[in-house]
Amino acid sequence: MLKVFTLNTGKSIFGTSALRQRRWGSVKTDNIDWKPFKSEKQLTSHSSTKRGSKSRNVVLGLLCLTPVVTLGLGIWQVQRLKWKNKLVAECEDRLTYSPLPLPKSITAADVPNFEYRKVSLKGRFDYDHEMFVGPRLNDGQKGYLLVTPFIRSSGGEKVLVERGWISDDKVVKEDRNLQHLSCPEGEIEIVGLLKVPPVKGMFHIDHDVGARLFHYVDVNAMADFSGSGKVYVQAIEDFRDHPEWQHEATEQPKGEKPSGWKLWGNKDTKETSAAKPVKLSDDSSEVFDPNQFRRAGVPLGKEPKIDYKNNHFQYVVTWLGLSFASAILLFLTLRKGKFVDPTKEKLKHASRFN
């Protein structure tokens, strides 16, 4: 094979040229695109740009709607707050009125206009249809709300009367002591408040069909069970003694031997009667202690006060606060300009290395 050598060094010319070519081929030049952000999806594709623009529009639209929607909810809660304050003021004013005899023709539709109005009823209780709501705790003790139909002397439908709370060991009528107060017989007069009972809540349990126990105050079911009207009266607490409620019909006939459960009841009566009612200094009436009523099984009536929950002010602060905060966020976003496009930022950064 023919080889060409230089005169001085004797090295091959072709060998030197090939060596130079190899050296030149390994040199990195500035015009090579190294594609540092290459991926399966091209960053400059039309679909990616369109999708990013759509996402930005959605976010911007939500930022624009949030202050408006929350402001509207805040204004609505302000109106609700005014309505609730007016309703509470009206009910508190009604509590100051003297008891009004319950009209004979009153219906459930009339009750909302007279809620928390003191009314007086004259008649007798229907103990054959006593009902219980609960269980309910009173001073840490388990018990039930006692609801008894009331037959009015003036006629008309029977009225559902919530007499108050009794302990679970006094649900049986014969187990109660102070019978002239716990189970008065004959015609009596009581005072109560007209109430609109709450509706069934999401977490309320359905009642057992035909049972006397109800998990919540259900006027419709109670009226069907007892044959009463759908007017609900809440008895006001009264710790006074009522000797006029004592009748000879409630006394035990002479010579009759009490049964076993009556013996147990009489034993408990001695313990209860040990604490006699206290006579008030300003009048001739006598009062019992609430604990005496609790032990004897006399229902503890309701204190006459407004039970409405008024949380609308908290709602006003919440919604208006969200509206103010979202408005500031929207202002700062628009002040900075357009949204940052990640694709453009990556390309801008990559162009520095080209």
Where do the structural domains in the chain lie, given as residue ranges?
97-246+262-296
Residue partners of 53: CB distance under 8 A and separation at least 6: none
Of 114, 89, 116, the C-alpha closest to 103 is 114
Residues belonging to the chain: 354
Radius of gyration of the chain (CA): 43
Residues 26, 176: Cα–Cα separation, whole Å: 108
Q: Give the other-Cβ count within 10 Å of 87's Cβ.
A: 15
The answer to whether residues 239 and 288 touch, using CB atoms and an 8 Å cutoff, is yes
Residues 273, 178: Cα–Cα separation, whole Å: 8
**What DSSP designation does 213 have?**
E
Predicted pLDDT at 20: 53
N- to C-terminal Cα distance for the chain? Answer: 47
Residues 271, 212: Cα–Cα separation, whole Å: 30
Q: Walk along the chain (354 residues) and give the pLDDT tens digit of each residue.
A: 444 444 455 545 445 555 455 555 555 555 555 555 555 555 455 555 556 567 777 878 888 899 999 999 999 999 999 999 999 999 899 999 999 999 988 999 999 989 999 999 999 999 999 999 999 999 889 999 999 999 999 888 999 999 999 999 999 999 999 999 999 999 999 999 999 988 887 778 888 877 899 999 999 999 999 999 999 999 999 998 888 887 654 444 334 433 333 333 333 434 444 445 554 444 446 888 899 999 999 999 988 888 888 899 999 999 999 999 999 988 888 877 555 566 777 777 777 776
Q: What is the H or E stretch that residue 193 is in?
A: strand 188-194
Question: Exposed e or buried b for every residue in 313-334, given b needs 16+ CB within 10 A?
Answer: eebbeebbebbeebbeebeeee
Predicted pLDDT at 117: 93
Half-sphere exposure of 180 (CA within 13 A, CB side): 12
Q: Give the other-Cβ count within 10 Å of 61's Cβ.
A: 10
Residues 259, 23: Cα–Cα separation, whole Å: 122
Predicted pLDDT at 247: 65
Predicted pLDDT at 258: 38
Predicted pLDDT at 287: 86
Half-sphere exposure of 168 (CA within 13 A, CB side): 10
SS3 label, residue 12: strand
The reply to whether the predicted model has a pTM over 0.75 is no
